[in-house]
Amino acid sequence: MSTQQDSYVVEVVDVVDETPDARSVSFAVPEGAGEAFRYRPGQFLTLAVPSDRDGVAARCYSLSSSPHDGGPLTVTVKRTDGGYASNWVNDHLVAGETIRVLPPSGIFTPASLDADLLLYGGGSGITPMMSIVRTALAEGSGRIVLFYANRDERSVIFARELSELAAAHPDRLQVIHWLESVQGLPTGEQLKALAVDRLEWDAFVCGPAPFMKLATTALRELDFPRARRHQEKFVSLGGNPFGDAIEQAEAEHEIEVAEGVEVADGAAPASSGAHTVLEVELDGQTHRFDDWDAETRMLDFLESKGVDAPFSCREGECSACAVRLLSGEVKMVNNDVLDDEDLADGIRLACQSLPAADEVRATYS
C-alpha cells in the first residue's frame, strides 16, 4: 500500500515580483506527468523546501494560475516574518532552478464554475481566489464579488490584473478593495453587508487567521449555509509527505485516538476483528465496501480498494482529504486543522479516520 504520493522534480520557468514582498513562481509540468498535474481552481502545490534542520520543510502554497489557459503551474508566495519557507522561496527560486513537489491537491474549489461566487480574500489569501476568478470568468457564467483586504496599496497583489479583469467583465466581476491604511480594519458588520443579499451564492474565505475568523463569523451570523461556505486552512506541515523518512513517520504515528478530538456521543472504535461497511461518494461515483477493518484509516482503506481519493500531507495537518459524514461516525487519530464547527458539521479527515460505527457513509463533495 502506498504511504505517500509520488513526488516530482519540476523546473522553475518564470519568476514575477508581484509586490515588494510577494512573487509568483511558475513551474513546467514534467514530461509524461500531465495527468498527475491536472488541477482545479483553488487547489495547492506542496513544495519540498530544503531544510538543514529537518531535511525537508513541506509547505503548501495555493496555485494562482488557471487550468483554463494551459499555462505553467504558478504559486504566489508572500514573505512572512520569521517564515523560513516563504523567505527561502522568495530568495532562492529563480528560472532554471528545480524543486520537488507533490501534485495539486485540495478541496477549496467551486463545485460549479457557473455558480455565483462571493470571495473574501485577505493579503496573500488572494492566491487561490485568482485561480478561481480567472477560471470562472473564462469557463463559467456566474457573477463574482471579490472583497480584497490589504494593509496598504503597496501590498495589493495582482492589482493591475484585477483591474483589467473587472473592466473586461463589468457585468460579472466586482472587486472591492479594502485598505487598512485608509479605511482601518474591516468590521463584521461591513462583511455581513456584502453577503446579506447573496445568501444563495457560494462563499470562499482565505487570508490571515483573524480575517478568516471575522469573515466566517459574519457568514455564520447570517445563517449562510455551511455547505456553501468554504474556508481554506493551512498549517505548517510537521511531517514529511515526500516519504524520505517513512519508517520513522510510521513509528511516530501509531494508531491512538488524539486527545481533544470531538466525536458524536457514544462513538467508539469498531471492535478488533469487526468490519465496518463504508460507502463513499467521490467525483459522482459511489463506492461501497463491507470490509473496513478497525485498524486501517479511511484513506489507506480506499487506496487499497483502488479508489483515487485526494490527499496531501497524511498527517492531519491540511484539509486535502476532508470528507463530510452522511451517517455513522469515525474517530480521528490526529487533527490540527478542523475546528469545532467543522467537526459539528460532520467534516472529518480521511487520512486520520478509523471506523467507529457498523456503517459509515461519507462524501467528498
Q: What is the CATH number of the domain that holds 192?
A: 3.40.50.80
Average pLDDT estimate for 178-190: 97
Check residue 227 and give its pLDDT.
83
pTM: 0.79
Residues 93 and 189 in one domain: no
Task: Name the grid cell of 293.
Answer: 477493518
293 and 219 within one domain = no
Q: Which of 231, 264, 294 is the last residue of a domain?
A: 231
214 contacts: CB under 8 Å, gap ≥ 6: 186, 187, 188, 191
**Among the listed ranges 146-160, 204-218, 308-322, 343-357, which one has the minimum average pLDDT value?**
308-322
Position 81 scores a pLDDT of 84
Question: Does residue 238 sit within a domain?
Answer: no
Angle at CA of residue 250, ends 246 and 255, nearest 5°: 160
**Statement to judge: residues 99 and 123 lie in one domain:** no
Residue 191 CA: distances (Å) to CA of 86, 149, 172, 188 = 29, 11, 20, 5
In sequence order, the 6+-apart residues with CB closer than 8 A to the CB of 327 are 359, 360, 361
| Total count of domains within the chain | 3
Average pLDDT over residues 294-313: 90
Residue 307 lies in a domain: yes
Q: Please tell me whether residues 93 and 154 are part of one structural domain.
A: no
Mean predicted confidence (pLDDT) in 172-198:
97
> Residues 269, 359: one domain?
yes
| CATH number for the domain that contains residue 82 | 2.40.30.10
Number of helical (H) and strand (E) elements in the chain, helices listed first: 9, 18
On whether the CB atoms of residues 319 and 344 are closer than 8 A, the answer is no
Cα angle 323-325-331, degrees, rounded to a multiple of 5: 85
Same domain, yes or no: 224 and 125: yes
User: Are β-strands 144-150 and 117-122 bridged in parallel, bridged antiparallel, or unpaired?
Assistant: parallel
- Element at 24 (helix H, strand E): strand 22-28
8 Å CB contact between 264 and 335: no
Per the domain annotation, does 236 fall within a domain?
no
DSSP state of 154: G
Residue 246: is its pLDDT beyond 90?
no
Q: Domain for residue 211, yes or no?
A: yes
Residue 96 and residue 122 in one domain? no
* Residue 132 contacts residue 115 (beta carbons within 8 Å): no
What gap in Å lies between CA 51 and CA 299, rounded to an integer? 28
What pLDDT does residue 252 have? Answer: 36
Do residues 211 and 310 share a domain? Answer: no
Half-sphere exposure of 274 (CA within 13 A, CB side): 14
User: Do residue 223 and residue 266 come from a single domain?
Assistant: no
Residue 66 confidence (pLDDT) = 97
Residue 237 lies in a domain: no
Phi and psi at residue 184, in whole multiples of 5°?
A: 75, -175
42 and 93: one domain? yes
Same domain, yes or no: 122 and 61: no
pLDDT in tens, 67-80: 998 899 999 999 98
Any domain includes 313: yes
Give a yes or no: residue 346 inside a domain: yes
Per-residue pLDDT, 203: 98
pLDDT of residue 240 exceeding 70, the answer is no
Same domain, 129 and 154: yes
Strand pairing class (117-122; 202-206): parallel
C-alpha to C-alpha distance for 138 and 176, rounded to whole angstroms: 20
Q: Compute the distance between CA of residue 294 and CA of residue 312 in angstroms, rounded to an integer.
A: 23
Rg value, the chain, Cα: 21
Residue 238: per-residue pLDDT? 52
Note every long-range contact of 48-51, with CB atoms under 8 Å and residues 24 or more positions apart, other chains counting: 48/7, 48/99, 48/100, 48/101, 48/242, 49/84, 49/85, 49/88, 49/89, 49/99, 50/88, 51/84
Would you state the pLDDT for residue 176? 98
CATH of the domain at 352: 3.10.20.30
What are the two backbone dihedrals, phi and then psi, of residue 254, each rounded to the nearest 5 degrees?
A: -65, 150
Is residue 263 pLDDT above 70, yes or no? no
Looking at 72, 105, 138, the residue that finishes a domain is 105
Per-residue pLDDT, averaged over 65-93, amounts to 92
pLDDT of residue 239 exceeding 70: no
Domain that holds residue 209: 117-231
Residue 41 lies in a domain: yes
Q: Is the pLDDT of residue 236 over 90?
A: no
